[in-house]
Amino acid sequence: MLIYDAQSPAPRCLRMFLLEKRLRLPAVTVDVMTGENRAAAFLAVNAAGQTPALRLDDGSTLAEAVAIAEYLEELQPTPALIGRTAAERGLTRQWWRRVELNITEFIHNAYHYGEGLARFQPRIPVVPEAAAGLKRVAQDRLRWLDGLLGPGPWLCGERFSAADIWLYVWLDFGLAVNQPFDRGLPRIGPWFERVAARPSAAASRQLLATDLT
């Protein structure tokens, strides 16, 4: 297998997932800043032009960070980051969807339409006037999520999961692109610091080492 990595939040989510799984896979870096992901060579790998992607041993490609994480969990179930049982997997996916649909997609598009406008305007449809509103929605939904959290240290209670990884990476990204969150939120604030203290949080900032041997 071969991972197509990049300096972007979704690939970082996958890197942190791999680190927590203690999985080491060969990787190549795609330079998304210069648009390499939209060039013909990469489009032949992933027609959607997005990173990360995973080339499987049969030569086919699996795209979308969430789908790749699900696939790798099936190959290496332990340590479980999605779940060991149907109930655990269902709970992880519940929080994962809440995070993606209500928070991280808004952070993502607000960046496209705001601070990342010059980069993305030649590539995708953009709505600059929507950026401020999307930022407000993301923060409102984060407060909503804070109110849903229980007393456990993680989104799934006592069990650290892929849902924690996805929310952490995107909130950390938001800090760098003028979308800081309210660190005073009673549950999300301490939760963020707990995730940040995990070795995988800092290590995931680094691109995967290119290893084609």
- Calculate the average pLDDT of the chain: 96
Confidence check: pLDDT of 213 > 50: no
The secondary element (H helix, E strand) that includes residue 29 is strand 27-29
Segment 59-67 shows an average pLDDT of 96
Give residue-wise pLDDT tens across range 148-194. 999 999 999 999 999 999 999 999 999 999 999 999 999 999 999 99
Q: Could you say which architecture CATH assigns to the domain 86-198?
A: Up-down Bundle (1.20)
Residue 209 has a pLDDT of: 73
Order across the sheet with 27-29: list the strands: 27-29, 2-5, 53-55, 61-63
Whether residue 105 is predicted with pLDDT greater than 60 in this model: the reply is yes
Q: Compute the average pLDDT of residues 89-109.
A: 98
Residue 211, pLDDT score = 53
Output the CATH code of domain 2-80.
3.40.30.10
Q: Is 210's pLDDT higher than 80?
A: no
Could you tell me which residues come within 8 angstroms of residue 1 by beta carbon, excluding any fewer than 6 positions away? Answer: 25, 26, 54, 55, 56, 57
Mean pLDDT to the nearest integer, 75-94: 98
List, for residues 125-144, the tens digit of each pLDDT value: 999 999 999 999 999 999 99
Residue ranges matching CATH 1.20.1050.10 in the chain = 86-198
Per residue in 12-61, pLDDT tens?
Answer: 999 999 999 999 999 999 999 999 999 999 999 999 999 999 999 999 99
Q: Beta strands 2-5 and 53-55: pairing type?
A: antiparallel
The confidence score (pLDDT) of residue 123 equals 87
pLDDT the model gives residue 212: 46
